């Protein structure tokens, strides 16, 4: 892997179901070797994007490439490098954990059964237990162990944390981060949870109403945005491309801005913005406002 290799690149990507666009005009360049969060509300288009990335859904328009190859046109080459964990981490419920490992081995030439066995033993997950008899957290861990045993270069996870309790979430994240540190795997995962992102992610994509609202390296995004507080002004997001959100009280205004470092006007103060505030501000914007940034 080179330093600036892209794990996933899309250009004008869109998917329409009937008359409704689930995703539209999506252009992304997601760096390899990073942990990337895809954030957005229900129906934003996250699953649609992830399913196009792993070749399960064909685009209506535009292109998608995984490590430079189309997951639909060059599927064996592209998909041999990709692991996918669908929402609710589905497993064959009547299979034992050992059956699932055997199944994984028979389906994937690169399957590293030793690695999966090591992870499952560290988590005390019994191999003779049927998948349907495991707890939700254990099922998630088994699904993750199977996906990692494929030794993917890109691991795509659709809302992996949604059904897990706080302890199971932590264990799941630790397993994931351990794999990232050990193997340099690129992780792309979708989530509704914004407040935990800073600890686990390098890169962020915010989707809203089927459009990319903002994307970039998290440290860069935090460096580019700031909160300005000062005397009330009658400006809003539509008057300036650099004002992402404006909130007004009787005497004061607070503006979230994205711009170069310009001198502050008298009476104005600036402070850094937290990642959660930044994401929520972009989610609150309407589609017509997204085009101004
Ligand atoms: N197979 C389908 N047929 C018709 N419409 C679909 C289909 N799949 C998704 N959609 C629609 O596309 C839009 C985006 O759905 P998608 O599942 O990608 O969103 P999401 O961000 O993953 O949502 P959630 O967080 O609820 O899982 C929604 O309006 C959804 O109803």
**Assembly ipTM:** 0.97
CA 34 – CA 64 distance, rounded (Å): 18
Ligand 1 center–CA 27 separation, angstroms: 19
pLDDT of residue 287: 54
Q: Which of 17, 54, 191, 213, when mutated, tests ligand 1's pocket best, judged by the most ligand atoms within 8 Å of its CB?
A: 17
The beta-carbon contacts of 248-252 under 8 Å, at least 24 apart in sequence, are none
Percent of the chain whose pLDDT exceeds 90: 45
pLDDT of residue 286: 64
Tally of domains in the chain: 2
Q: What is the CATH number of the domain that holds 56?
A: 3.40.50.300
Atom 30 in ligand 1: which residue has the minimum CA distance?
Answer: 43
Helix or strand (DSSP H, E) at 248? strand 243-248
Residue 27 lies in a domain: yes
Residue 213 lies in a domain: no
Pair 177, 234 in one domain: no
Residue 32 lies in a domain: yes
* Residues 192 and 182 sit within 8 Å (Cβ to Cβ): no
Residue 35 lies in a domain: yes
CA 149 – CA 53 distance, rounded (Å): 20
Residue 115 lies in a domain: yes
Pair 17, 144 in one domain: yes
Strand order in the sheet with 252-258: 243-248, 252-258, 225-231, 269-272
pLDDT of residue 262: 67
Residue with token string 């009476």: 267
Residue 249 lies in a domain: yes
Pair 148, 248 in one domain: no
Note the pLDDT tens digit of each residue in 18-42: 999 999 999 999 999 999 999 999 9
Pair 158, 78 in one domain: yes
* Residues 32 and 5 sit within 8 Å (Cβ to Cβ): yes
Q: Which of 24, 44, 209, 210, when mutated, tests ligand 1's pocket best, judged by the most ligand atoms within 8 Å of its CB?
A: 44
* Residues 26 and 10 sit within 8 Å (Cβ to Cβ): yes
- Domain range for 262 is 219-290
Q: Which of 161, 176, 208 is the last residue of a domain?
A: 208
pTM metric for this prediction: 0.89
Q: Give the burial class of 14: count Cβ atoms within 10 A of its Cβ; 0-12 exposed, 13-18 middle, 19 or more buried.
A: buried
Pair 264, 189 in one domain: no
Helix (H/G/I), strand (E/B), else coil: 42: coil
Give 264's pLDDT tier (boundaries 50, 70, 90). Answer: confident
Q: Which of 40, 48, 52, when mutated, tests ligand 1's pocket best, judged by the most ligand atoms within 8 Å of its CB?
A: 48
Q: Which of 160, 181, 208 is the last residue of a domain?
A: 208
Residue 1 lies in a domain: no
Ligand 1 center–CA 21 separation, angstroms: 9
Question: Kindly report the CA angle at 155 between 149 and 158, in degrees rounded to 5?
Answer: 115
Return the structure tokens found at 241: 């491309």
Pair 261, 202 in one domain: no
Residue 214 lies in a domain: no
Ligand 1: residues whose CB is within 6 Å? 17, 22, 40, 42-48
């Amino acid at each position: 892997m080179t330093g600036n290799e892209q794990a996933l690149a899309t250009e004008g990507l869109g998917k329409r179901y009937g008359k409704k666009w689930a995703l539209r005009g999506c252009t992304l360049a997601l760096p390899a070797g990073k942990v990337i969060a895809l954030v957005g509300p229900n129906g934003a288009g996250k699953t649609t994007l992830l399913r196009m990335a792993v070749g399960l859904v064909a685009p209506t328009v535009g292109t998608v490439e995984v490590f430079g190859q189309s997951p639909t046109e060059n599927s064996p080459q592209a998909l041999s490098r990709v692991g996918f964990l669908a929402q609710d981490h589905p497993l064959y419920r009547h299979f034992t954990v050992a059956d699932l490992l055997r199944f994984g081995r028979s389906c994937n030439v690169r399957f590293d059964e030793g690695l999966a066995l090591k992870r499952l033993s560290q988590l005390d997950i019994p191999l003779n237990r049927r998948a349907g008899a495991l707890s939700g957290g254990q099922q998630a861990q088994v699904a993750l162990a199977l996906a990692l045993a494929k030794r993917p270069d890109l691991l795509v996870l659709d809302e992996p944390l949604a059904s897990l309790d706080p302890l199971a979430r932590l264990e799941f994240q630790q397993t994931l981060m351990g794999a990232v540190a050990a193997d340099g795997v690129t992780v792309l995962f979708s989530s509704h949870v914004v407040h935990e992102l800073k600890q686990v992610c390098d890169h962020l994509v915010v989707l809203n109403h089927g459009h990319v609202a903002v994307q970039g390296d998290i440290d860069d995004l935090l460096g580019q945005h700031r909160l300005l507080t000062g005397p009330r002004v009658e400006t809003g997001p539509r008057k300036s491309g650099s004002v992402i959100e404006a909130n007004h009280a009787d005497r004061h205004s607070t503006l979230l801005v994205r711009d170069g470092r310009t001198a502050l006007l008298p009476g104005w103060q600036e402070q850094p913005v937290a990642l959660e505030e930044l994401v929520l501000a972009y989610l609150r914007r309407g589609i017509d406002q997204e085009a101004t940034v």
